[in-house]
Amino acid sequence: MSDRVDAGAATAASDETAFVLDADDARILAEVGFLAAGRGDMGHADAIFQALRAVRPGRAYPWLGLALARLNAGSADEAVRLLEQGEASAMAERGLLAAWRGLALQLAGRKAESTRLLQACAQDGEGGEGVALARSLLGLHNQTNDDTP
For CA atoms 42, 44, 46, 48, the dihedral sign is negative
Top-confidence residue, 66 or 2: 66
Band (pLDDT 50/70/90 cuts) for residue 11 is very low
| Structure letter (DSSP) for residue 21 | S
Give the per-residue pLDDT at 145. 47
Q: Distance (Å, rounded) from C-alpha 42 to C-alpha 36? A: 7
pLDDT tens for 117-143 read 999 999 986 778 999 999 999 999 655
∠ CA 20-26-31, rounded to 5°: 155
Closest to 75 (Cα-Cα) out of 51, 110, 103, 104:
104
The pLDDT, as a whole number, for residue 21 is: 76
Given a cut of 50, is residue 10 above it in pLDDT? no
CA distance linking residue 3 with residue 27, whole number of Å: 29
| Per-residue pLDDT tens digits for 17-74 | 445 678 899 999 999 999 999 998 999 999 999 999 998 889 999 999 999 999 999 9
Q: What is the pLDDT of residues 83-119, one digit of tens each?
A: 999 999 998 999 999 999 999 999 999 999 999 999 9
The per-residue pLDDT for 22 is 84
What distances in angstroms separate CA 45 from CA 5, 75, 89, one per listed residue?
22, 14, 19
Q: Residue 148 above 50 pLDDT? A: no
Q: What is the pLDDT of residue 143?
A: 52
DSSP track, 73-101: TT-HHHHHHHHHHHHHH-GGGHHHHHHHH
Residue 146 pLDDT greater than 90, yes or no: no
Q: How far is CA 39 from the centre of its chain?
A: 16
Q: How far apart are CA 1 and CA 135, in angstroms?
A: 54
